[in-house]
């Protein structure tokens, strides 16, 4: 969801890429649904973090739940930031997807404000 929010709301200044250590192979339909509720149509895909290892980034944000313990360590360039969010796929509850979406909407401007793309 963070990738979609950044690419929809901050496209003139930022381009976001999302990846995981254990990608599901699809973007969760409920994530897509709650993004559409706020006017964001996301056409991204599920991918492994290894696909991005050679990319240079200005900012690298890990957003996984700290309790899961498997946030990747980013060894590439770019300022690094971690913000733990609950994984709503664990409950598959639409309310959890909405809550995480709203938490991301609140957090993203703060992440981006002090970094020059």
What's the structural domain count of the chain? 1
Least confident of 13-22, 60-69, 76-85: 60-69
Query: Does any domain span residue 70?
Result: yes
- 98 pLDDT above the threshold of 90: yes
| Confidence band for 8, pLDDT divided at 50, 70 and 90 | very high
* CB contact at 8 A, 27 and 3: no
Query: Does any domain span residue 6?
Result: yes
- 6 pLDDT above the threshold of 80: yes
pLDDT at 70: 59
* CB contact at 8 A, 56 and 78: yes
Query: Does any domain span residue 81?
Result: yes
| Confidence band for 67, pLDDT divided at 50, 70 and 90 | very low
Half-sphere exposure of 25 (CA within 13 A, CB side): 0
Query: Does any domain span residue 117?
Result: no
3-state DSSP of 26-56: CCCHHHHHHHHHCCCCCCCCCCEHHHHCCCC
Query: Does any domain span residue 116?
Result: no
Query: Does any domain span residue 100?
Result: yes
Torsional class of 109: left (φ above 0), alpha (ψ -120 to 50), beta (otherwise):
alpha
pLDDT at 83: 87
Per-residue pLDDT tens for 13-30?
Answer: 999 998 888 888 899 999
Domain range for 46 is: 2-111
In DSSP terms, 79 is beta-bridged to 59
Query: Does any domain span residue 85?
Result: yes
108 burial (CB, 10 Å; 0-12 / 13-18 / 19+) is: buried
* CATH number of the domain that residue 61 is part of: 3.40.50.2300
pLDDT at 69: 55
Query: Does any domain span residue 90?
Result: yes
In DSSP terms, 80 is beta-bridged to 60
Least confident of 7-21, 49-63, 85-99: 49-63
pLDDT at 27: 92
In a 3-state reduction of DSSP, which class is residue 4? helix
């Amino acid at each position: 969801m963070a990738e979609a929010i950044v690419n929809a709301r901050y496209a003139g200044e930022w381009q976001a890429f999302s990846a995981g250590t254990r990608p599901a192979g699809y973007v969760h339909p409920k994530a897509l649904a709650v993004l559409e509720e706020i006017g964001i149509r996301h056409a991204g895909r599920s991918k492994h973090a290894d696909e991005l290892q050679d990319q240079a980034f200005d900012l690298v944000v890990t957003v996984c739940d700290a309790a899961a313990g498997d946030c990747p360590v980013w060894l590439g360039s770019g300022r690094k930031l971690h913000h733990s969010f609950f994984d709503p796929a664990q409950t598959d509850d639409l309310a959890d997807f909405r809550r995480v979406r709203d938490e991301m909407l609140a957090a993203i401007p703060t992440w981006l404000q002090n970094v020059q793309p």
